[in-house]
């Protein structure tokens, strides 16, 4: 069995399987969204300024605006599909045959906001995940995740201040600390009728344009400071003209 939290929060979400948990950092997706939002707003502003003053150049910036909107959508789609394919492959390799994913039914376009509606594509992500898992013969079940972030998976009590900061949940009864996303994943497991241990091993990854990369050092490896080769020294001022003069003599 595998239990996933919904894709909300800049830290991404995690899943638990036995005593091993995997966290997918979603900060790169958030950064990608806001970068393209800035680009589209810039083109939109210039387009409107030119159009309001009768300049025909507004058409060019409107084309830039549409292209930026398209790129934003495709880039986010690429990041999500990359993360989903990675998760499906790694879960299949771990022998997972069923996945329970939390879905925020209370979040929609009427009571949501830019952060939890525009950036995190709940419906699409879960649908894509189901399609990819089906290729591996893994079943996907959707569970209502409402309240799983506040509920303590250790003592089963709702702690209003349990989430002391993003990524950390502290049980106010026992004092035990647990990753907030894994706490939600364990609560999703309980709603599906399963009891899961607190993971002893946590592997962290981040989604990039070139695939999913590990944040946690692999076994037998350490984080080393890379050796940088200094760039070649640039010629000083006047060197180009002196060289030309020397060859012309």
Q: In this predicted model, what pLDDT tens digit does every residue of 152-181 receive, in sequence order? A: 988 988 888 888 877 788 998 888 888 888
Between CA 20 and CA 137 the distance in angstroms is: 21
Average pLDDT of 84-97? 87
Average pLDDT of 35-45? 96
pTM above 0.85, yes or no: no
Task: Indicate the number of domains in the chain.
Answer: 1
Phi, psi of 148 (to 5 degrees): -70, -20
More confident residue, 173 or 64: 64
Between CA 110 and CA 4 the distance in angstroms is: 25
The pLDDT assigned to 41 comes to: 96
pLDDT at 233 over 80: no
The pLDDT assigned to 113 comes to: 61
Say which residues have a Cβ less than 8 Å from residue 198's Cβ, sequence separation at least 6. Answer: 154, 176, 178, 182, 186
What proportion of the chain, given as a percentage, has pLDDT over 90?
Answer: 30
Domain containing 140: what range?
Answer: 2-248
Phi, psi of 232 (to 5 degrees): -60, 145
Q: Sign of dihedral through CA atoms 73, 75, 79, 84? A: positive
For the chain, how far is it from start to end, CA to CA, in angstroms?
80
């Amino acid at each position: 069995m595998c239990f996933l939290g919904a894709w909300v929060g800049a830290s991404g979400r995690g899943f638990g399987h036995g005593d091993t948990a995997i966290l997918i950092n979603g900060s790169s997706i958030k950064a990608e969204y806001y970068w393209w939002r800035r680009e589209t707003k810039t083109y939109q502003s210039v387009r409107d300024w030119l159009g309001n003053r009768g300049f025909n150049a507004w058409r060019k910036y409107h084309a830039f605006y549409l292209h930026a909107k398209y790129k934003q959508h495709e880039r986010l789609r690429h990041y999500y599909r990359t993360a989903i394919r990675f998760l499906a492959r790694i879960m299949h390799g771990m022998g997972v045959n069923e996945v329970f994913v939390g879905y925020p039914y209370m979040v929609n376009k009427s009571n949501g906001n830019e952060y939890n509606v525009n950036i995190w594509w709940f419906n699409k992500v879960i649908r894509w995940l189901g399609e990819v898992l089906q290729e591996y013969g893994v079943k996907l079940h959707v569970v209502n995740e409402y309240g799983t972030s506040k509920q303590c998976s250790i003592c089963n009590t709702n702690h209003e201040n349990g989430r002391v900061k993003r990524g950390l949940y502290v049980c106010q009864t026992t004092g035990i600390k647990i990753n907030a996303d894994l706490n939600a994943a364990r609560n999703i497991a309980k709603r599906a009728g399963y009891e899961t241990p607190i993971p002893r091993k946590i592997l962290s990854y981040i989604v990039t344009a070139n695939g999913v990369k590990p944040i946690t050092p692999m076994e037998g490896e350490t984080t080393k400071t890379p050796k940088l080769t200094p760039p070649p020294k640039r010629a000083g001022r006047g060197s180009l003209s002196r060289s030309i003069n020397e060859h012309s003599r």
